[in-house]
Structures are given as C-alpha cells and as structure tokens.
Amino acid sequence: MPDIDASNLRPGGQILVDCLRLHGVDTVFCVPGESFLGSLDAFHDVADSVHLVVCRQEGGVTNMAEAWGKLTGKPGIAFVTRGPGASNASIGIHTAHQDSTPLIMFVGQVARDMAEREAFQEVDFRRMFGQMTKWVAQIDYPARIPEMVSRAFHVATSGRPGPVVLAIPEDMQSEVAGVADGQAYQTVQASPGVDDLGRLRDMLAAAKRPLLLVGGSGWSTGACDDLKAFAEANDLPVAVTFRRQDLIDNRHPNYAGIVGLGIDPKLKARIASTDLLIALGPQLGEIVSGGYTYFDFPKPQQQFVHISAGIDELGKVHQFDLGINSGMPQFCAAARALEPVSPQWQTETAAAHADYLAFSRPQPMPGAVNYAEVVAWLSDNLPEDAIITNGAGNYSVWVHRFFRHKQYGTQLGPQSGAMGYSVPAGVAAAIRHPDRVVVSFSGDGCFQMNGQEIGTAVQENANVIFIVVTNGMYATIRMHQERNYPGRVSGTNLVNPDFAALARAYGAFGETVTNTADFAPAFERARDAHGPALIELVIDPEAILPTTTLSALRKQALKG
Ligand SMILES: Cc1ncc(C[n+]2csc(CCOP(=O)(O)OP(=O)(O)O)c2C)c(N)n1
Ligand SMILES: [Mg+2]
C-alpha cells in the first residue's frame, strides 16, 4: 500500500477524477448509475475542465469513447454502471479491441462487502471482459487508484493499443485515502533497428513489383507525412486496409485502393503478383486477407515484411521474412530517412492508381437516387478535413468506394464490423471538432441500433449531419441470403419510422430525399441548420451493391 499522505485526504471518487485530469482527460462519456455516484459527484467539482457527455445507452457511451480514442490517439474514457450498463457497453469494448483503439472504461461495481454473493447487478468483470481487453482489474483500495489508473493509460496506449476495463466498487469511491497522484503517463513505442532498416532497403532494391499495405492504429499526421515521403521517394504503390483510407490522400498518384470488403479485382490480382509485400501496421486478418485466401499459409509466397507496434502480432498468423516491432511514427520517420532505391516499377504504380480511379467512378444504378453520385458529390464538395463516419451494412460499401479521403483523421469506421457505430461516432467527432463538417452515414438497420444518440447530439448541440440510407431491409444479410438461399427471404425485412420526422421530434433538422438532384440543396439546408441534422436518403432495394442488383443476384444463384 502506498504511504499515507495525510495532507492529501480525498474520497476515492475524487482521487479518480483528479488522476484523470492529471492524465489529460477533458471529456468523459457516461450513462449514470448508482454504482458510481462518488465519481459523478467528483465530476461536479471539475465541470469547467472535464466535459461529461451524458449518453442515452451504454453502447453509445463506448462507441463515442472508441471514436474519441481513434480521433485523439489518447484513451477515450467511459463510465458505466455494473451488470446491465457493462453489458450494453460491451460492443464498444469489442470494437476497441479489434480496431486497436485506446479506451478505458470504468464500471461501477457492487460494494466490496457484498461481492461474490450475486448481489444486485453483480458481474465478475474480469471474466466478462477477459478476452476483449488488454487488461481488466478492480480497484479495491482508494489508495491504489493513482497506480492502477496510471497503469491503465500505459497499457491502453503502449504496443498495440486497446481497451482496459477497471471496476470501481461503489463504497471504494466514498472511502477516504491520502495518496499522491504521481505524474502524467507517457506512451512508449518500439523503434526499428538499424539492421532491420538495412534489410528492408536490400529487399526493396531486389524487388520488381513491391506493394506497401498500410493500416493498423497508432498513426499521426506526422507519421502519415513521413509515409507519403517514403512512398514518393521509392515510388511505391500504397494500398490501405479496410477503414484506414485516411492514412494517405486518396488522390495521391501512388494510392492504389482498399484491401478489404468489396475489393477491386484488379487490386486483388496486384496482391497476388507482388513479389514484396510490406505490411505497415495492419494484421492480415480475415477481412484484409479475403477470408485468409490472399496469402499462403504459413508463409506467404511473396517476400513478406511485417511491421507492427504489437510484438505479439508478428508471426501471429503469417510467417514473415522480416518482422519489425515498431510504432508507426517511429518506423515512418526512419523509413523516410532511408536512402531511396532506384525503383523500376513506376509503370505499375501509375497503373495501380489508374485502376483505383476507374473503380471509384460512379456507375448508373436502379432507382431515382444514384447513391454513388451522392457520395462522390460529398467527396468533391466537403472541406478536406471533413470527418466521415459509418458502421456496418452494404450502404457503407458506397462510402468506401466513392469517397476520397484527403487527410489523416477523417475516417471513423469499425473494423470490427459493428452496426450502430456511425451515429455515436459522429456525435463524438462533432464534440471533438465543433468547427469541422461531420457526416455520419448509417443504413436503416444500422441507424436504429444507436439512433437514440441523436438525443445526445441535440443536448450537446453537436454539429453533425446524419445520412440514413434506407432500403427497408438488412440488405447485407439479404444479399447473403439471395446468394445462398435464393428467393427465401427470412428475417431481413424492416418496417421503418419516418426518420426525418423522428429527427424533428428530437429537435434536430430532418428532411427526406428521394432523387439525386434534391440531395445537394437538402445537404446545404442541413449544414445551414447549425446543429444536428438528418437526411433520409431513400434508395431502391434493387440497388444491393454498386455493381449488381438484388434480382441479378437471385437469378445467378438460381442458375447454379
Ligand atoms: C451489432 C451487429 N449486429 C448484426 C450484424 C450483422 N449485420 C451486418 S450488416 C447487417 C445489415 C445492415 O443493415 P442496414 O444498416 O440497413 O444496411 P444495408 O445493408 O441495408 O445497406 C447486419 C444485420 C452486425 N454486423 N453488427
Ligand atoms: Mg438497410
């Protein structure tokens, strides 16, 4: 137990809030519970320096905290109550885990003298969150709050970032202790060794068709600048992984497109024919590897360099020729300083970008709304720093394919494929960047998972425009259904509310758009509304994907 500092006696809740401020926290997301009244009370005293965002459901809380972690590189902070609150909150913890996002969630817990009796709403959080966190623990003594909170910040941000859960028993928060707070946390990341960089350069010099594949987390604007300089100096084609499109300007002549769901077949072929794959940051997970089909096991057939901030990620699935444990800023600075090789692949790099441009050109689609043209219009007309959020559903395929990200920090999407992410992520982005344009895309299914956070957006006067793309179904699942069980529609239809009227009932702007030409003026009106706004974009249910229709899918499946 730390020495008692009698001059610094405070209740646990206050120690906890003081520690959060020490570590630089200025925003906290919560749904209140009687299990953390002590902490809530301490927030009362610091209302001018810590913004407590009161959400509508704990799934909104952790999704907002996750988006905050992605936007800032610092842990997003969530406070939720015991069993029911923590159960609702788990979706954002899972996303933070799969997306490698720093996040710390505090869960109010039953009083210490009631533990292990299945007291009211009691859950053993170590077992509940064991698999989807980097660390989960309970703070049993107020005198140990500074130590354990400091550890939480270090764990959440070091190596491969991720979520931490700390249970805080309600009586512990009112118990008084005297303890020093310590100092603010410092993130430590590995750097590449001189030998690593020498080998990388040799491999690059020997390559004929290299490909740089960037992804993962722990990036920064500076790291992206260094990445660009490294790619330019060696004229490398740069592909990005699913939902990491903002690591390089998509208009850059070296940009080669997205490796993930809805991949351009030409990019897929490019991966197969590359002789040197440099994976900078990402795991070659199920989505990035096309269901583990793009790369051979256990050793990819091409020379494979894997750079990761998490040492446990190296050799986790695919064997490598060169594994480098490094943070992204550290690696990119060193790569930029490397003497460039003489590239012989300029034609390939130019061809890769030309393929991307062709693939991202809107095509005609059924119905009065050409959703591809709507996304392309936004891409051409929004400021370069506009933030785009989405969740899971076929509607997001259009966003990925037709929107060009121009700078780092403009994309918030769950690599975990969690529906319901977009609305809370949009609210968090608008709170963080009140002066930037924030556009949140959802499907009708996705929106209805966390659409209640529009109430939080109104309460915060968050400047976010929600675009709800409606087709009266969970189209992604219907698509799989038509492919596997053609004509047998089961469990995938939706009866919807009037979304624009729903938004207006919350006090937000709301409008419905049913043809392409009406979108731009409706969007301008939504922007002029200054505050939360919603546009329902009604698309034809036949428009199941940018390149095929529902009936074509069914016909193809019936044929055999
Ligand atoms: C939380 C969660 N539940 C279920 C799923 C499975 N799922 C993936 S996409 C999808 C349908 C999405 O529907 P909608 O938002 O309407 O988009 P659409 O596919 O119709 O464009 C479902 C149910 C999921 N990914 N996440
Ligand atoms: Mg839908």
Task: Count CB atoms within 10 A of the CB of residue 119.
Answer: 14
Which tokens go with 463?
A: 């400047």
Q: What residue owns the CA closest to ligand 1's atom 16?
A: 445
Distance 243 CA to ligand 2 centre (A): 20
Which tokens in the block code for residue 269? Answer: 């072929």
Among protein residues, the one whose CA lies closest to atom 5 of ligand 1: 419
Distance 81 CA to ligand 1 centre (A): 27
Alpha helices in 138-220 (DSSP H): 145-157, 170-174, 194-206
Pocket (CB within 6 angstroms of ligand 1): 392-395, 417-420, 443-446, 471, 473-477
Residue 262: its pLDDT value, please? 86
Q: How far is the CA of 445 from the centre of ligand 1 (A)?
A: 6
What is the whole-number distance in angstroms between the Cα of residue 539 and the centre of ligand 2?
9
Pair 76, 68: CB distance under 8 Å: yes
CA distances from 516 to 115, 376, 538 (A): 58, 11, 10
Query: Which of 62, 87, 369, 394 is the pocket-test mutation for ligand 1 (most atoms within 8 Å of CB)?
Result: 394
Give the position, in ligand 1's atom list, of the atom nearest the Cα of 469: 21
In this prediction, residue 416 carries a pLDDT of 95
For residues 522 and 535, give the distance between their C-alpha atoms in angstroms, rounded to a whole number. 8
User: Which residue among 398, 446, 490 has the greatest number of ligand 1 atoms within 8 angstroms of its CB, and so is best to mutate?
Assistant: 446
Cα–Cα separations (whole angstroms), residue 36 to 2, 14, 123, 242 = 24, 11, 15, 37
CA dist 385 to 406, 410, 425, 429, 432, Å?
7, 6, 16, 12, 13
Coil vs helix vs strand at 164: strand
Atom of ligand 1 nearest to the CA of 449: 1
Residue located nearest, by CA, to atom 23 of ligand 1: 474
Name residues whose C-beta falls within 8 Å of residue 169's C-beta, 6 or more positions apart in sequence. Answer: 108, 109, 110, 111, 112, 115, 138, 139, 140
For residue 210, which of 232, 191, 238 has the smallest C-alpha distance? Answer: 238
Residue with CA closest to ligand 1 atom 3: 419
302 CA from centroid of ligand 1 (Å): 35
The model's pTM is 0.98
- Measured from the CA of 476, which atom of ligand 1 is nearest? 19
CB-CB contact of 166 with 86 (8 Å): no
pLDDT under 70: residue ranges of the chain: none
**CA 468 – ligand 2 centroid, Å:** 9
CA of 300 to the centre of ligand 1 (A): 32
Residues 6+ apart with CB under 8 A from 167: 106, 107, 108, 109, 125, 136, 137, 138, 139
pLDDT tens digit string along 113-161? 999 999 999 999 999 999 999 999 999 999 999 999 999 999 999 999 9
Closest ligand (CA of 59): 1
Mutate to test the pocket of ligand 1, among 88, 243, 448, 474 (most ligand atoms within 8 A of CB): 474
Mutate to test the pocket of ligand 1, among 374, 419, 489 (most ligand atoms within 8 A of CB): 419
Residue 492 CA, ligand 2 centroid: distance in Å: 9
- Residue 261: the pLDDT is 85
Max Cα separation, the chain? Answer: 80
How far is 475 from 395, CA to CA, in rounded Å? 8
> How far does residue 354's CA lie from ligand 2's centre (Å)?
32
